[in-house]
Amino acid sequence: MTRIELLDCTLRDGGFINEWRFGRGDIANLFERSVSAGIDYIEAGFIDEREEFDPDRSITPDSEGMDRLIKGLDHGSSKIFAMIDYGTCDISRIRNAADSEIDGIRVMIKKKTRYEALDFCRKLKEKGYLVGAQPVSVTGYDDEEMKELVKEINRLEPFAMYIVDTYGLLDRSHLLHIFELIDERLKKGIRIGYHAHNNFQLAFSNSVALMEADSDRDIIIDGSAYGMGKSAGNCPLELLTAYLNENRGSHYHTSQILEMIDTGIMKIYEKSPWGYQMQYFLCASNDCHPKYAQYLLQKKTLSVKQIDDILSRIKPEESLAFNKTYIEKLYVEYQKKDINDKVDIERLKNVFQTSGCVLVLGPAPSVQAEKGRIDAFLQEHDPLIISINFLPDEYAPDMLFLSNSKRYMQLSSRLEKKDGAVQIPVIATSNVTAAKEGFDYNLDYSSLIDESFEIPDNSLPMFLRLLDKTGVNKAYLAGFDGYVQERGKNYSEPAMEYEFAADYAIRLNSYTAGVIRKLKERMEIEFITPSRYEE
């Protein structure tokens, strides 16, 4: 009968959540409770030469640091492992196993450097370690490539070869197909391990399927307390111990894992939760890196359907390693729907010139804080009011400019009627698709963006370029404060908020200010509320 063993990767994979800063006390607590639970293998953390030793973190620059981290802790009957992402630690930083507190080292093996990584594994084995060969992103291998990899691993004869589902893409049938392919070819005595991620909520069910597979080979299943781990997290260790106790006659002490969760894990989860999320589903369903969905979601310009459409267009060779330049190119190409907007430009030119005075309203806090100043301006000038991607409660805009599909979805119900009045005329760029009837004015998106900037479709520069194209000589701006990094300070409506890093806010402010300075060479632009774009 197949022997099923468990590996606890909480201190290693869980560390992606908190930068491995568990604290010295919790490192000891999590380690020793896992030992008390009877877990077969415990991964104490990463070895990465780019890091400095810190007793509060489960990532160290060498094996000596890992020894210092766990020295004096009760190992019980558990075997202790560390992990190395190949290329982040030279072999000279690893002392011989006979002189170390750790019994084994698992090595992350990327496809493009797999042969070099296997040679590194060979050197670790020569130093006396149990070696886990961990080819990451197994879904990136076809059957023939996997067969060839198994041949190379047979030459190495490691302690274990792993099926690492880095992005949680495997379903039961695909997992068992890979397992059977490996099991038929891998030398007897080499364990097969499985490391799941929970993008599809399949980590536990897949683990059960593997534990029930028809094989005589010993199998190691990875888990972490409460599923702690990057992105959608890992298979919850407490589910694995409970299942094996109930169905395989194992004697793990699940209560000790629950104590780990209660005393050490929940306080981290409450601050930085992990687990199943829509963005991880989107990427898993499109076989791509989680950062692709995260990148598109953070733009807050797209509906979920549009994000799914873009992810489906990612080429296989770009899917498993995040490429910011590539996804930005896809994003811009997707947004582009070239149209001939000559007629609508002429129509807008007549509207703007007839009005005589144009006030552009933005959604920043000053649109409320400076209401008195704006009201005085309205009374004096009686301008044509055009709001940008939002509908203010304080004012009744004459027109709405839409360049953002996400904002349109948020506003669509209000566009039918606003305070009982007729629908507001909408000026929309071609990347925004009307839910029902077409928009009043349709403009070519690509003619208003700036692909040289990291945010090519920032709405204010786009609208100012439109005013320039229609021959407007002067525009007044209110509610365009510029960005700050503090959440809750950029918009008058909380639902519109983005999260900005300090340098991101600075770059965006600097770029927009530059666009305004250039346009001022041809038209007057005057702020009637304070703005960082004038600084």
Could you tell me whether strands 399-402 and 426-429 are parallel, antiparallel, or unpaired per DSSP bridges?
parallel
What's the rounded Cα separation, in Å, for the pair 363 and 419? 19
Q: Where are the beta strands (DSSP E) in 86-127?
A: 104-109
Other Cβ atoms less than 10 A from the Cβ of 187: the count is 13
Two tokens at 385? 């009011």
How far from the centroid of its chain's Cα atoms is residue 442's Cα? 33
**For residues 53 and 51, what is the distance between their CA atoms, to the nearest angstrom?**
7
Beta bridge partners of 8: 42, 223
Q: Is the dihedral of CA 60, 65, 67, 71 positive or negative?
A: negative
The answer to whether residues 53 and 268 touch, using CB atoms and an 8 Å cutoff, is no
CB atoms under 10 Å from CB of 104, counted, come to 24
The per-residue pLDDT for 229 is 95
In the chain, which residues have pLDDT < 50? 418, 422, 501
What's the predicted TM-score (pTM) here? Answer: 0.71
Q: How far is CA 240 from CA 30, 96, 227, 268, in A?
A: 17, 33, 11, 21
DSSP 3-state percent helix, strand, coil across the chain (nearest 5): 45, 15, 40
User: Which pLDDT value is given to residue 339?
Assistant: 81
Distance CA(390)–CA(125), nearest Å, equals 62
Contacts of residues 380-383 at CB distance under 8 Å and 24 or more positions apart, as own/partner, are 381/357, 381/476, 382/357, 383/355, 383/357, 383/358, 383/359, 383/476
CA angle (444, 445, 447) in 5-degree steps: 70
Q: What does the pLDDT read at residue 437?
A: 74
Domains of the chain: 4-271 (3.20.20.70), 278-335 (no CATH), 342-534 (no CATH)
pLDDT tens column, 383-436: 999 999 999 888 999 999 999 888 888 887 777 654 555 478 999 998 888 877
CA dist 350 → 161, 353, 355, 361, 493 (Å):
71, 5, 9, 20, 32
Hey, what amino acid is at 324?
Answer: K
Specify the pLDDT at position 487.
Answer: 67
Which own/partner pairs from 156-159 qualify as long-range (CB within 8 Å, at least 24 positions apart)?
A: 156/118, 156/121, 156/122, 156/125, 156/131, 157/125, 157/187, 157/189, 157/190, 158/121, 158/125, 158/130, 158/131, 158/132, 158/133, 158/190, 159/104, 159/130, 159/131, 159/132, 159/190, 159/191
For residue 347, which of 439, 462, 243 has the smallest C-alpha distance?
A: 439
The two three-digit tokens of residue 179, written as one number: 């397992």
Rounded CA separation 164/167 (Å): 9
Q: What pLDDT sits at residue 67?
A: 97
Q: Is 361 helix (H, G, I), strand (E, B) or coil?
A: strand
List, edge to edge, every strand of the sheet that includes 384-388: 441-443, 426-429, 399-402, 384-388, 358-361, 474-478, 524-527
* Coil, strand or helix at 93: helix
Q: For residues 120 and 107, what is the distance between their CA atoms, to the nearest angstrom? A: 8
Crossing angle of helices 24-36 and 63-70, rounded to 10°: 80
Return the SS3 of 27.
helix
The single-letter code of the amino acid at 446 is: S
- pLDDT value, residue 1: 60
Q: Among candidates 86, 94, 81, which has minimal Cα distance to 115?
A: 86
Instruction: Supply the pLDDT for residue 204.
Output: 97
Q: Residue type for 350, please?
A: N
